[in-house]
A and B are shown apart, each in its own frame.
Chain A
Amino acid sequence: MLRFRYLLSAMAAAMLIATTGTVQAEWPEKPIKLIVPFKAGGSSDQMGRVVQAGIKESEALPHPVTIVNVGGHYSIGARRVMEAKPDGYNFLLIHLALMGGQGSGALDFGWKDFAPVASVGEFCLMPMVRKDSGIDSLEQLLDQAKDKPDSLIFGANLGAINHMGGLMLQETTPGAKFRFVQIGGGTANYTALTGAQTAVTVLSGAEVTKFTRLPDGSENPDSQIKPLAYTGSERFSGLPDVPTTQELGYDVNFCIKSWFFAPKDTPQEAIDGFAAAIEKATQTDTYQDYLVKNGFANGIVTGEEMLEELQATWDRIEPIARLAAQK
């Protein structure tokens, strides 16, 4: 009987703690949850963990950041943050997929339903073909897509970033048309292109370096594939010989950043506090090392500036995303 009474008092004590912990004092007064709506190990998860480590290393916050990987479809984790209590302890790390899903109609919410916190780590894409394809430039590729529409097999993850990247390229040349085929993410497309199952795909700058270069930066003779252009506004530091799409005369800019969001109505104090912590994290060696290794651009954008940047991205992406849903 004694034990049972102990159990009861333990339960009562726990309830007391659970109900009295909501008094607002100086932010933050407990660990901060960063929801990554993807499985552990992916590129968003890595970015989250590097920022987490950077915040710890720079002692930017008195409490740790815990990363919560919400698997399944990314909309589940994103919606969870959107509906979370705006108490300043719930944040979301996501990228362009959010706008893609909104534009294609796969999601019934979007970036405007969140409060922007910070955007970091930009990377852009490279259209890739096989070395034995006889295609040597972006112009030749698009011409072939125009002369023989719907015959060049483009490996993509339908509805996702690489699909939208391909559509954006195709839209520059009236009449050009790739045949989009469901293959998957970067690694799967590298495999399919190497195995000559597909003819074109887009990979990130870091993926291209990883798959086609030797450690000293020279070209790997065993590699079967080559990049044609870079969709950033400046040349990719890892592959300075590859021209940008704008240099080639195509008005294409297709870059992806990591976005930190908070639920709407989160106190400004928490938003600014977390943005400042992320900024400090980006100055650590851990983060800088990671950037260089993965070909991400440096820099952090917050506040009003981020809102403008998001709006500009949305204006570019929405028509493409709508196209991705149709075909």
Chain B
Amino acid sequence: MDLNALFIAIQQILSTHALLMLLLGTGLGIVVGAIPGLTGAMLIALTLPLTFYMTPFNAVVLLVSMYVGAISGGLITATLMRMPGTPAAVMTTFDGYPMARSGRPGRALGLGITASFVGGLIAWVVLLTITQPLSILATRFGPFEYFSLIMMAMVLIASVSEGSLVKGLISGLLGMLISMPGVDPASGMPRLTFDWYVLNGGLQLLPVLIGTFAVSQIIADALDIGKVSQNSRVDSRGVLMSLADLRRHAVNMIRSSFIGTWIGILPGIGASIGSVVAYTAAKNISKTPEEFGKGSEEGIIASEAANNATVGGALIPLIAMGIPGSVIDAILIGALTIHSIQPGPTLFLTNADIVWGIIATCLLANIVMWLMMTSSVRYIAKLIYLPRSYVLPVVIVFCVVGSYALNNTMFDIWVMLGFGVIGFLLERAKIPLGPFVIGFVLAPLGEEKLRSGLMMTAGDITPMFTRPFSLAFTLAAVVLLVWPLYNDWRRRRANA
């Protein structure tokens, strides 16, 4: 670790045009992250061509700060409108929205912002200190390790869904099923496409997600347009967490940050899963699990600390080995390559200034994000009282543009609308939407890894129980499945 180089990079950012890039990137990231329908990945993909005309250093500063900003901005609309601004903020809607509805939007936002900041910071420290050994460990993760990890996350569906277990199962499995049409991950041939070529690419995550969460919410909100908002007092107290708050939530915050960091490191598993795992871990450990889903402070903190931590985590394999830890990192690698910088195991040797630029930006953007968001939260919280008859149509336009712009196909817009209706209907039947998205994200990965593993062993599944990491995850999955049931049973017995 070369602290001197870090200071030089920080100094370079603060004293040149790069500072402008940092502020612009973080600010734009927050705004785009907050708008349902537009995501960080889209912002970065669209900005990519603009960075050709910048120095490579300024380009990475801009792109990395957008990344940090976008992951954080998602919590605003998740909390205020129950529409996750970015996929990573899905879990934040569960507790942020109820808390905001009960008259404490400021508090809900404040918790999310500080948790994001802490998560980003902890992941950054990991990035700074143990990048090398962690990424070597990650290469040892084979298909069976991934599969058992994903199974563990799938089991979490059961704990995430409130209400009926059968309905949670329907939702999660339906999500899995919807993810399956398209090119089979394990054979390269199209399947379940109804011989319709448009389905060769499958249903994309973004339009499905915007549909089920944002559009369905728009339809539901439209039913209430005429009514006057129930809580007309803006209460934005509690924005800054007190020392007592911090102490109370420290364990949760640190645990969630480490979970987020580790999940960020694993290639292909994104920020959304980081926050799912941290959220359910927090719920299972919590003394008041019944509060989760009804405005629990712990829930907001777990979700937001973890999703910001994945940013730093995902940069670890990028810097150490040239392996993208997330979709955004893959775009970042493309940006570096176009600037004639080859990301790879020798990036530190070839372009140390760029690496330190990335690391320094990761720190500074988190600080800028925290300053920007805490200072404006009073005004942001008032957005909840904008007249819905104006907000909803504008959000629809953003959803349409967002669904289109990622892949440039009209089909994605129709998918989004279709899932808006499906999401609305599922909610009417009290089928929870959380498991649906988790199933949709995890199933393709899980199936691919399982079948890759079976290809390696010629059909033998025993390595799942003999490889240490894989065994650990499998056991954890069993424990996570049984623990809530056992707790429930014990409580009922105590009551009887």
Contacts and interface: CB of A to CB of B under 8 A. Distances in A.
Do A's and B's CB atoms come within 8 Å in the complex? yes
Interface of A: 39-42, 45-46, 49-50, 53, 67-73, 75-76, 79-80, 104-106, 108, 150, 153, 157-160, 163, 179-183, 187-188, 190-192, 194-198, 206, 209-211, 213-215, 220, 222-223, 289-290, 293-294, 324-325
Contact of B45 (A41, A163, A183): A41
Given A41-B45, A159-B189, A195 B141 contact: yes
Nearest to A157: B188
Contacts of A325: 189
Interface of B: 45, 48-49, 52, 138-143, 182-183, 185-190, 197-198, 200-202, 204, 267, 321-324, 330-335, 337-338, 340, 342-346, 349-350, 406-409, 448, 451-452, 455-456, 458
B458 A179 contact: yes
Contacts of B138: 191
A141 to B, nearest CB: 18
A227 B259 CA distance: 37
24 contacts: A39-B330, A40-B48, A46-B337, A49-B338, A50-B338, A67-B49, A69-B45, A72-B407, A72-B409, A106-B189, A153-B456, A181-B455, A181-B456, A182-B187, A182-B451, A182-B455, A191-B138, A191-B323, A195-B140, A196-B140, A210-B322, A210-B342, A210-B346, A222-B345
Most buried by B among A39, A45, A49, A182: A182
Contact of A71 (B333, B335, B406): B406
B139 A191 contact: yes
A276 to B, nearest CB: 23
A43 to B, nearest CB: 8
A200 to B, nearest CB: 13
B139 A194 contact: yes
Is the contact region of chain A dominated by helix, strand, or loop, or is it mixed? Answer: mixed
Contacts of B330: 39, 41-42
Contacts of A42: 330, 334
A104 B346 contact: no
Contacts of A223: 345
Given A53-B52, A71-B204, A76 B342 contact: no
Given A69-B408, A158-B187, A211 B338 contact: no
Given A180-B455, A215-B346, A72 B200 contact: yes
A76 B201 contact: yes
Contacts of A290: 338, 340
Contacts of B337: 46, 293-294
A73 B407 contact: no
Contacts of B340: 289-290, 293
B440 to A, nearest CB: 15
A41 B142 contact: no
A3 B141 CA distance: 63
Contacts of A68: 408
A191 B186 contact: no
A70 B342 contact: no
Given A69-B407, A187-B322, A163 B188 contact: yes
Given A71-B407, A76-B200, 16 more contacts: A71-B201, A71-B409, A75-B200, A104-B188, A158-B186, A159-B187, A182-B448, A191-B323, A192-B139, A194-B321, A195-B141, A195-B142, A197-B143, A214-B346, A220-B345, A223-B345
A167 to B, nearest CB: 13
Contacts of A160: 188
A182 B186 contact: yes
B142 A211 contact: no
Contacts of A150: 458
B289 to A, nearest CB: 37
Given A40-B331, A187-B323, A214-B346, A104 B189 contact: yes
Given A49-B338, A106-B190, A72 B143 contact: no
B189 A40 contact: no
A40 B455 contact: no
Contacts of B52: 49, 53
A233 to B, nearest CB: 25
A223 B45 CA distance: 31
B349 A215 contact: yes
B408 A181 contact: no
B267 to A, nearest CB: 7
Given A68-B408, A158-B187, A73 B349 contact: no
Most buried by B among A49, A75, A80, A191: A191
4 closest A-B pairs by beta carbon, nearest first, are A72-B201, A159-B188, A41-B334, A195-B139
A223 B344 CA distance: 11
Contacts of B201: 71-73, 75-76
Contacts of B335: 41
Most buried by A among B142, B202, B408: B408
Given A53-B52, A187-B324, A293-B342, A76 B198 contact: yes
A183 B188 contact: no
Contacts of A210: 322, 342-344, 346
B409 A49 contact: no
Contact of A73 (B45, B200, B331, B334): B200
A183 B48 CA distance: 28
A270 B448 CA distance: 43
